[in-house]
């Protein structure tokens, strides 16, 4: 069942909030955003699941026909669910991505290249009343990842970086990151860092820390991440958490024995498919 809803973070930004339950980990937020600039921007387009109607949820925040930009932070399936429907419903919108991002998307379905705007880290996009400055987040799971900083609202749109699973679906969809105790938020974000960016344990720590410093220089008031509830006023502590990621414990996922134990405890409800018996 879809859990998508809208949530205002400030007058110029709306969160299109959703989540997925990850067994043994928690409830992972999966957010998209609407930035109400002079030229409205939709940031990512939600999950690629059949029970999600991204356009319907988006329509509760803005008429899709009014959208001028679709900023795809990267072309993973939890970011592209409503992309092609939105391109059809927003004929004046252009898709912001990178050369690699456009290439990856084209393996699923051809992109209208005349509507693509390539923006690399270090470049910017003028959306009328503000400038969106593109950057590569310190943590990422896709080579096409590009977030941006909105210099007018002091908001950092960080893609997957800063993510963390929440203890409940309500907190994942309707809460704020600051509602968690500092230690709990730190643990959640380090867990996600090791799940989503396992390469962080193999990097040169000095070079990695150098990628964190530009975000400190931004000094964002708000951090909006795909996989975290809105984070207002706590960027310094979250950046400290990012800085410690290379020294955190690597994530090791469940093995086949653990999967069989989970399946043995599965209790289907009416209409659910019964899981196959382990061989």
pLDDT in tens, 74-92: 999 999 999 999 999 999 9
pLDDT band at 268 (very low <50, low <70, confident <90, very high): low
pLDDT band at 275 (very low <50, low <70, confident <90, very high): very low
Q: How many CA atoms lie within 13 A of 258 on its CB side?
A: 6
Q: Is residue 241 part of a domain?
A: yes
The answer to whether residue 274 scores a pLDDT higher than 50 is: no
Please tell me the total number of residues recorded for the chain in this structure. Answer: 279
pLDDT tens sequence across 144-167: 999 999 999 999 999 999 999 999
What pLDDT score does 9 carry?
66
Share of the chain above pLDDT 90, in %: 87
Residue 221 covered by a domain: yes
What CATH number does residue 38 fall under? 3.60.15.10
The whole-chain average pLDDT of the chain stands at: 93
Look at residue 8 and tell me whether its pLDDT is greater than 80: no
Residue 256 in any domain: the answer is no
Q: Computed over its alpha carbons, how large is the radius of gyration of the chain?
A: 19
**Is residue 137 situated within a structural domain?**
yes
Examine residue 257 and state whether it is found in any structural domain, yes or no.
no
**161 within a domain of the structure (yes/no):** yes
Note the pLDDT of residue 271: 52
- Distance from C-alpha of 121 to C-alpha of 73, rounded to nearest angstrom: 11
The structure's pTM equals 0.92
The residue range of the domain holding 222 is 5-246
Total tally of structural domains belonging to the chain = 1
Mean pLDDT of 26-35: 98
Whether residue 176 is predicted with pLDDT greater than 80 in this model: the reply is: yes
276 belongs to a structural domain: no
- Token pair listed for 219: 């000094």
Instruction: Establish if 267 belongs to a structural domain.
Output: no
- Residue 93 pLDDT exceeds 60: yes
| 44-57: pLDDT as tens digits | 999 999 999 999 99
């Amino acid at each position: 069942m879809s859990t998508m809803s809208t949530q205002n973070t400030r007058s110029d930004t709306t969160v299109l909030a959703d989540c997925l339950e990850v067994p043994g980990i928690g409830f992972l937020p999966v957010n998209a955003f609407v930035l109400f600039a002079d030229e409205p921007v939709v940031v990512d387009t939600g999950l690629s699941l059949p029970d999600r109607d991204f356009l319907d949820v988006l329509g509760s925040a803005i008429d899709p026909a009014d959208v001028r930009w679709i900023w795809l932070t990267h072309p993973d399936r939890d970011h592209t669910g409503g992309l092609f429907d939105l391109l059809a419903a927003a004929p004046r919108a252009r898709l912001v991505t990178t050369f690699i991002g456009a290439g990856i998307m084209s393996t699923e379905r051809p992109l209208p290249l005349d509507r693509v705007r390539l923006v690399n880290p270090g470049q910017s996009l003028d959306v009328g009343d503000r400038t969106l400055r593109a950057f590569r987040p310190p943590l990422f799971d896709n080579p096409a990842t590009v977030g941006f900083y909105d210099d007018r609202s002091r908001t950092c749109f960080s893609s997957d970086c800063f993510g963390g699973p929440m203890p409940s679906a309500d907190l994942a969809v309707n809460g704020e990151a600051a509602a968690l105790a500092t230690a709990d938020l730190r643990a959640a974000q380090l867990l996600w860092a090791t799940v989503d960016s396992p390469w962080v344990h193999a990097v040169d720590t000095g070079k990695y820390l150098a990628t964190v410093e530009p975000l400190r220089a931004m000094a964002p008031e708000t951090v909006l991440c795909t996989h975290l509830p809105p984070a207002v006023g706590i960027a310094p502590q979250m950046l400290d958490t990012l800085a410690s990621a290379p020294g955190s414990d690597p994530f090791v996922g469940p093995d086949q024995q653990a999967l069989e134990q989970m399946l043995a405890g599965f209790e289907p409800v009416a209409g659910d498919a019964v899981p196959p018996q382990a061989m």
